[in-house]
Structure 1
Amino acid sequence: MNSQIQLINVSQQFSDQGATVHLFSNLNLVIQQGRSYAITGPSGSGKSSLLMIMAGLEQPHAGRLSYFTSNTIAPLDSLRRSTGFVFQQFHLLPELSALHNVALPLKLRGDKYAEEKAEVWLAKVGLANRMNHKPTTLSGGEQQRVALARALVFEPKYIFADEPTGNLDANSAHDVADLLFSCCEEQNAALVVVTHCQKLARRAQRVFNLEFGHCGVQRDDARRGALC
């Protein structure tokens, strides 16, 4: 049985120059492995913060996050080990080649086949001939492909992507979106994308709109059996 993430009465806030800013309150959401989701909404509404909470990387001010596998609650550390993250700014290490950037998460886990697996994933994202290039010699689209390969190399159950096409031209954005959806479908992974791009959001099976502290379902295409 596929796993799922549940957010129960989750609220988030932060302090800004002594004032308390409330991002959202009492959100109840379920993210199921194998499905695709988009989170839309205006700047400053808390989309990125919500994404971090879903991934178990940020604590909510109130409420709780639960991770279920085989109908039992699993530790959040287990969720973090099952999560890949794709950032708008790529966050590649400039001193490392594409190959070593992708292999690094596996090496940190002690995987002795890290580089071989990194080679496979770089080939999957179309960078077989750019493996030994450092980020500064790669285009923005190529850097995002490296970041995508790095997120997917350990075959996580969940991929969280924060504006993954925001810094790319139209052609590169389309290619990266295709890769995100197709790779997640291949791996039976959940895909959760924060985006301002309505064209990208429409590719998801379910669209949440976060605005005025609340998260409403903008669209739920339950009839679709594939991620794209």
Structure 2
Amino acid sequence: REVIIGGAALNAEVEAFFQKIKFPFTVGYGMTECAPLISYDHHDDFVPTSCGSVLEDIMEARIDSPDPGKIPGEIQVRGENVMKGYYKNPEATAAVFTDDGWLRTGDSGIMRGRRLFIKGRLKTMILTANGQNVYPEEIESKLNNLPYVAESLVVLREFKLVALIYPDMAAVEAAQLSVDQLPQLMNENKGILNKSVAQYEKISSFELVDKEFEKTPKRTIKRFLYH
């Protein structure tokens, strides 16, 4: 028996905790257009931060990158369980397939052997002033694990990365802290975060927001509303 996790990247802290207590879990990756599974590993074979190995015999995957094992690129797939196209929508079908018949997933990642490691969605990727690709989800995941952070969003403003932070007010009150202390607390968090990311992923500043970020029915943040 095992628990299979999917739908979004697993929080690194949660993943580490599950491994520490030897909880039988694994992470899979898929999409409706692939009916729905693309990759999976039994929990005994699971590699941390991965989303499993591409299904053997029925599925192929490739990374649109000059170095698929190191440089992230779009994950593209083909196989028996991949759809033929969208019903009565040839334009959408043409947009989602490459000229040589591979399905564009819209996700960016790397692949080592048959094992996939997702970095983020292509449409959320941030291109910095020095040409580096930044995947905000990875930074946000680290930031969300820090004290007094309920959720966060990383955006690009004037060629610099800025973190929008919705504080965990319940935790602040439980610690008997005041709202006036939040800027100092978050500045400390910024310092901790910047020590754990690459130079081009460092946050230059942060802004506190007073309400939760607006979300889709799938509970993902509507990034287009925040700039």
* TM-score under structure 1 length normalisation: 0.23
Structure with a larger share of its residues in helix: 1
* TM-score under structure 2 length normalisation: 0.24
Larger radius of gyration: 2
